[in-house]
Amino acid sequence: MINQGSLTFEGDCIFTECKSLDSGGALYLSIQNEASVTIDDQCMFDQCICERDGGAIYAYFQYGSLTIQGGCKFIKCSSQNSWYGGGAILAYLFRDGQLTINGCTFEECESNLFGGAIIGQIIEPVGSTTIIIGDACIFNRCTSEQYGGALYANINQGSLTIDGACEFDQCESNQAGGAFYALIDQGSLTIDGACTFTKCISESSGGALYLSIQNEATVTIDEQCIFDQCTSESNGGAIYAYIQSGGILTIDGQCKFTECSAQQYGGGISADIIGENSKSIIGDGVVFDTCFSDYSGGGLDTYIQAGSQLIFEGNCQFKNCSSVNGYGGGIYLICSQGENNFEITGDLVIENCSSNYSGGGIYLFLSINANASIVLNKLICIDCKSQQGGGLSIQSDSNTILTLSGQASFTRCESSMTGGGIFFNIQGDNAEIQITGSMDFVDCIGTRGGGMFIDSTYKIILVLSSSCTFLNCTSNDGGGIFISSSNIDTYIQITGILSFNNCSCSYYGGGLYLSVTNSSISFENLIQFKDCSSLNSGGGILVFCSDEGMIEFIGELNFNNCSAIDSGGGGYFSTGNQGHIVTNNITCNDCKSQSAGGGIFINSRDENSIIELSGITTFVDCIGNSGGGLYIQIYQSGQVIISNRCTFTRCIAEYEGGGICIDSQGQGSHIRISGYLSFELCQCQGEGGGLYAYNN
């Protein structure tokens, strides 16, 4: 016992094969009442063993301090049959105790319970109770049978700092925390100064670090720390964090996660964040490179619940990350219960990430009763791939609210099934999604919806209120966007400008494919199609509406140099079983089809099925097999209404109807053309240079 005095070990002191049947194989220290102990100048503890705690040193502090420094070494020290462990050191700190370990080496130390090298416990702190590990300490091949291959810390209101380029190399635990297991309750943990964690392994969660952060505790990992080739057989290849009751985890200062992996969730990081004011902050310059998980979240897996937050500050990057058999190649994010926030204040770049099932870049899942706000400064997805949602996949359950704002871009993202850029999957009633930020899609590919896929059979509200552009996107159906809705209470409102440039499809809708059954959708702004094409019908757009569905194009539809091998070079519009389509202004320039309707093809069938072309409709230099500008096909009491102003200039048909060709069949079919109708320089090789009408 050291009481108010001091004790110093220095000058090559060596403790070899020392053993205790209780605690402290070499030293048992009780340090009280401002006493101090110093172990310095290359002291060595070699193969020291205890039967309980602290293979080399057991230390109890109360208003005292222990300093170990100057190149001291702990080699193959171990605790056996322990209550807690600490292969080299176990330290209890009470009431203003201080432990400092600087410039020391721990080699192949082991514990059969916790802390292969060190256990530090801060209990009932008063004043500045602290543990400091720094000045390039080295932990090499340290192991524990349970928690914390190298370190185990229980910090209650005190502080622990690990800095000065400490190294953790090939440390391993049979449970959680391959290098370090930390319980932080109202206290703080800081890891900074370019610390490195290399090839650390956990047979449970947290290949390098396992962190429990509770009751407003804080953990900061900063200043270019590196996690390289760390592995977890459960969650969190490098880090697993459980954050609750106002706890905060901050990872900043250009930290890097390289080639880390998990057999379940979160190849780089897995975090459960629960409760109001609980959050994880990933700061500027953080990089996840070539991390992967066997299931979901190749780079990052995060579960946020009950008012918690995930925040990206500054510019962060995920590249070459993957989920092998699951979701979210870069990021896997679940929002549950109450208002949760996902915020990106800088640029978040997801590059060349992939998942087997959904969300090559990011997978976002809103569980029942979740309310999520996603605030983006800029999200950039490049070369990401998956079956569904090559860049981003959003799945929403019942009674959920999602608000997505800010800028997003998707370049060369690809899905083997649906949504090359974004995939929306609505799996429950009363889901509300509001997208207020602009989105750009370039060179994206999908089987349905090269850029974006939206499908719902449930009662939802979807509002897209900012601009979206689609360039060189392609798919089987809906080269730019595929939308399908089939619930009477569903309402989709698109108020932003949509622009499709050089988009294409193999079947229907080179730019946009739209199918509405027993529900409604409105487009309230300009939709532009330029150089879009289809190998079948609807070079720019294909629209189908049935079963009392309603589609309104309130803004202008503009088609420029669009083409289809079959019908509707610019657009193909079809109604059945009381479907209703209304357009306002339409402009078709230089559109062509090799079959019917060089500009527009209309098909209306069944009683009370109506297609209305209102406003100003203009066709210039359009070419078709029949109906150079417009082809109208009416069956079984379908109706077509053309009102206001409709003009055709230099439109050409190979057969009938240079401007318009009308094919009306069945009793009760009805077409009404009112207002101004003009044909100028239109021609055909068959009948009706301006207009051809056939009624059977």
* pLDDT tens per residue, range 186-204: 999 999 999 999 999 999 9
Reported confidence tier of residue 126, pLDDT bands at 50, 70, 90: low
pTM comes to 0.93
pLDDT for residue 428:
78
Q: Which of 692-695's residues contact partners 24+ apart within 8 Å by CB, and which partners?
A: 692/626, 692/627, 692/653, 692/656, 692/657, 692/660, 692/661, 692/662, 693/660, 693/661, 693/662, 693/664, 694/656, 694/662, 694/663, 694/664, 695/662, 695/664, 695/665
Instruction: Please classify residue 676 by burial: count the beta carbons closer than 10 Å to its beta carbon, then call 0-12 exposed, 13-18 middle and 19+ buried.
Output: exposed
> b/e per residue, 301-314, with b = 16+ CB within 10 A?
bbbbbbbbbbbbbb
Q: Which amino acid is at 237?
A: G
Q: Output 178 or 401, whichever has higher pLDDT.
A: 178
pLDDT for residue 1:
66
Q: Output 251 or 606, whichever has higher pLDDT.
A: 251
**Among 618, 633, 592, residue whose Cα is nearest residue 680:** 618
- Determine how many CB atoms are found less than 10 A away from the CB of residue 161: 18
Q: What percent of the chain has pLDDT over 70?
A: 99
Q: What percent of the chain has pLDDT over 90?
A: 77
User: Would you list the DSSP string of 46-95?
Assistant: ES-EESSS-SSEEEEEES-EEEE-SS-EEES-EE-S-SSB-SSEEEEEES
The one-character DSSP state at 296 is B
**Among 416, 269, 291, residue whose Cα is nearest residue 351:** 291
Reported confidence tier of residue 397, pLDDT bands at 50, 70, 90: confident
pLDDT for residue 34:
85
Residue 347 has pLDDT above 70, yes or no: yes
pLDDT for residue 483:
94
Give the residues across from 226 on adjacent strands: 196, 256
- pLDDT (tens digit per residue) in 79-100: 987 688 999 999 998 878 899 9
- pLDDT (tens digit per residue) in 460-470: 788 888 899 99
**What is the rounded distance in angstroms from the CA atom of residue 430 to the CA atom of residue 683?**
52
The first and second tokens of residue 473, run together, are 């996107």
Residue 445 has pLDDT above 80, yes or no: yes
- pLDDT (tens digit per residue) in 493-532: 898 999 999 999 999 999 999 999 988 899 999 999 999 9
pLDDT for residue 635:
86
**What is the rounded distance in angstroms from the CA atom of residue 628 to the CA atom of residue 648?**
9
**What is the rounded distance in angstroms from the CA atom of residue 582 to the CA atom of residue 612?**
5
Give residue limits of the domains in the chain. 534-696
The answer to whether 516 touches 544, Cβ cutoff 8 Å, is yes
- First-to-last C-alpha distance (Å) of the chain: 111
The first and second tokens of residue 670, run together, are 């009805």
Residue 371 has pLDDT above 80, yes or no: no
Q: What angle do CA 379, 228, 259 make, to 5 degrees?
A: 60
pLDDT for residue 61:
84
Residue 147 has pLDDT above 70, yes or no: yes
pLDDT for residue 368:
74
pLDDT for residue 340:
72
Residue 125 has pLDDT above 70, yes or no: no
Reported confidence tier of residue 375, pLDDT bands at 50, 70, 90: confident
* Mean pLDDT over each residue of the chain, to the nearest integer: 93
